[in-house]
Amino acid sequence: MVSIQRLPSSIQSSSPKPRVQKPEATPVTPQPTVVAKAVASTVRDPEVIKEAHSQIQYDQPEGKSRQAVDSYMGVMHHARKEELSSLVGVDVYV
């Protein structure tokens, strides 16, 4: 056995260590979370769902305004598309 200076020598006892009995694990049933409760109590009436869908407002304009915004965005991202096509070597059509 090798000993290192300034460290206490290890003492090995010949008596076995007393074993501590662990309490038996009882199966714990998880309680549902707030989200799980909300999902479980969703609206099941199709009329209410249809009414909610009819009241949804999207953040994009409709009609000619939408076409104009799409055109402006296409011009704005044209340089980025050219850069990607030159990196990959494949023409990108969006």
Asked whether residue 39 is domain-assigned, the answer is no
User: The domain containing residue 78 runs over which residues?
Assistant: 64-94
Asked whether residue 53 is domain-assigned, the answer is no
Each residue's pLDDT expressed in tens, for the chain with a length of 94 residues: 667 777 767 666 666 777 777 777 677 778 878 888 877 777 677 788 788 878 887 777 778 888 898 899 999 999 998 888 888 776 666 6
What separation in angstroms does the CA of 55 have from each of 11, 20, 77, 87? 78, 64, 32, 44
Asked whether residue 9 is domain-assigned, the answer is no
Asked whether residue 80 is domain-assigned, the answer is yes
Asked whether residue 76 is domain-assigned, the answer is yes
The 8 Å CB, 24+ separation contacts for 50-56 are none
Provide the number of structural domains found in the chain: 1
Give the pLDDT score at 91: 67
Asked whether residue 88 is domain-assigned, the answer is yes
Question: How far is Cα 94 from Cα 89, in angstroms, rounded to an integer?
Answer: 16
pTM of the model: 0.32
Asked whether residue 92 is domain-assigned, the answer is yes
What DSSP string describes 6-57? Answer: TSPPP---SSPPPPPPPPPPPPPPPPP-HHHHHHHT----HHHHHHHHHT--
